[in-house]
């Protein structure tokens, strides 16, 4: 049985649970249980605070964990990164009151900086040869300058709206973060085999994200021109139709590119264009 540690709540929790579900992992939903086994896969989910996950994986309490890269960098535990997951993206940034004229990190010398990530901040300040007073607080870091607790903050930024609300501006982006999967370095061969199957399933789900399966009827004489403008993953599938001079073309393309090329396809005679979602894709 493979044990995976997952954040108890929040956006990362929701996106992780969605990925597990789409990967065919069925779990009993319960707000009271901290450890839930899967009904159809040799895995059990342990729900923890996000900042406890790196330690739990390092100690072998959990075999693997899904956590924000920021927490992994902050805790500096002896675990290995198995996979970057591409969701729950954010950044760790320094922010100061918007009315201040900021020109470089030299401004931070002698200042008080409030943060929940002292290790990452300390490493950054050392790299810039800056000496500042790091004030460690948890929660509502962004209000620290407004109440006179700090001159600047170092915190997670997603949209930036919280900074605007608190009359702050972002002046230094220290690191980019996303959800990552970490694993205990001494995982057994049996558990590694389960992990490999889980990674295979997750990969199939993620490859399919943002992709559409497109079918269309096209004039055979225009096939070369149509193929030239299709940003497909590989060579499209082409089958002759009963109607002479026409072919059926099947291709997988990124959804965000579809509307950019639909006009060109129609201009080359494509018709009966059918766009379908893709749930899984095995390469």
Q: Which of 178, 263, 280 is nearest to 226 (CA)?
A: 263
Segments making up each domain of the chain, as ranges: 2-86+179-207, 90-177, 210-277
Q: How far is CA 231 from CA 69, 184, 206, in A?
A: 32, 40, 18
Q: How high does pLDDT run on average in the chain? A: 93
Residue 176 has pLDDT above 60, yes or no: yes
d(CA 82, CA 62): 14
Q: How many residues does the chain have?
A: 283
- pLDDT number for residue 17: 94
pLDDT band at 139 (very low <50, low <70, confident <90, very high): confident
Q: Do domains 90-177 and 210-277 have the same CATH topology?
A: no
Q: How many CA atoms lie within 13 A of 70 on its CB side?
A: 24
Reported confidence tier of residue 130, pLDDT bands at 50, 70, 90: very high
pLDDT in tens, 17-34: 999 999 999 987 766 678
Q: Per-residue pLDDT for 233 more than 60?
A: no
Which class in CATH covers the domain with range 90-177? alpha beta
pLDDT band, residue 232 (cuts 50/70/90) = low
Q: Does domain 210-277 have CATH number 3.30.70.120?
A: yes
pLDDT at 260 over 90: no
Q: Is 20 exposed, middle or buried (0-12, 13-18, 19+ CB in 10 A)?
A: buried
Greatest C-alpha distance within the chain: 79
Which CATH superfamily is 2-86+179-207 part of? Periplasmic binding protein-like II (3.40.190.10)
Q: Which of 81-85, 94-98, 101-105, 203-207 is predicted least confidently?
A: 203-207
**Per-residue pLDDT, 234:** 66
pTM of the model: 0.83
pLDDT band for position 230 (cuts 50, 70, 90): confident
Range 202-221 average pLDDT: 92
Q: What is the pLDDT of residue 23?
A: 94
């Amino acid at each position: 049985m493979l044990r995976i540690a997952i954040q108890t709540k929040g956006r990362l929790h929701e996106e992780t649970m969605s990925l597990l579900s789409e990967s065919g992992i069925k779990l009993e939903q319960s707000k009271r249980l901290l450890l839930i086994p899967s009904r159809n896969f040799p895995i059990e989910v342990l729900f923890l605070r996000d900042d406890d996950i790196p330690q739990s994986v390092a100690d072998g309490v959990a075999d693997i964990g899904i956590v924000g890269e920021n927490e992994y960098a902050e805790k500096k535990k002896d675990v290995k990164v198995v996979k970057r997951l591409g969701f729950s993206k954010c950044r760790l940034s320094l922010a100061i009151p918007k009315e201040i004229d900021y020109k470089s990190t030299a401004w931070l010398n002698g200042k008080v900086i409030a943060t929940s990530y002292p290790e990452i901040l300390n490493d950054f300040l050392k790299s810039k040869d800056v000496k500042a007073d790091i004030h460690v607080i948890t929660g509502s870091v962004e209000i620290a300058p407004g109440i006179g607790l700090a001159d600047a903050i170092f915190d997670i930024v997603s949209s930036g709206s919280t900074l605007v609300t608190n009359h702050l501006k972002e002046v230094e982006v220290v690191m980019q973060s996303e959800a990552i999967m970490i694993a205990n370095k001494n995982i057994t061969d049996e558990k590694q085999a389960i992990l490999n199957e889980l990674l295979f399933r997750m990969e199939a789900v993620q490859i399919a994200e943002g992709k559409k399966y497109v079918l269309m009827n096209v004039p055979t004489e225009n096939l070369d021109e149509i193929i030239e403008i299709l940003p497909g993953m590989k060579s499209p599938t082409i089958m002759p139709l009963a109607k002479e001079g026409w072919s059926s073309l099947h291709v997988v393309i990124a959804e965000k590119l579809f509307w950019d090329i639909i006009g060109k396809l129609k201009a080359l005679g494509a018709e009966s264009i059918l766009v379908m979602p893709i749930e899984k894709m095995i390469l």
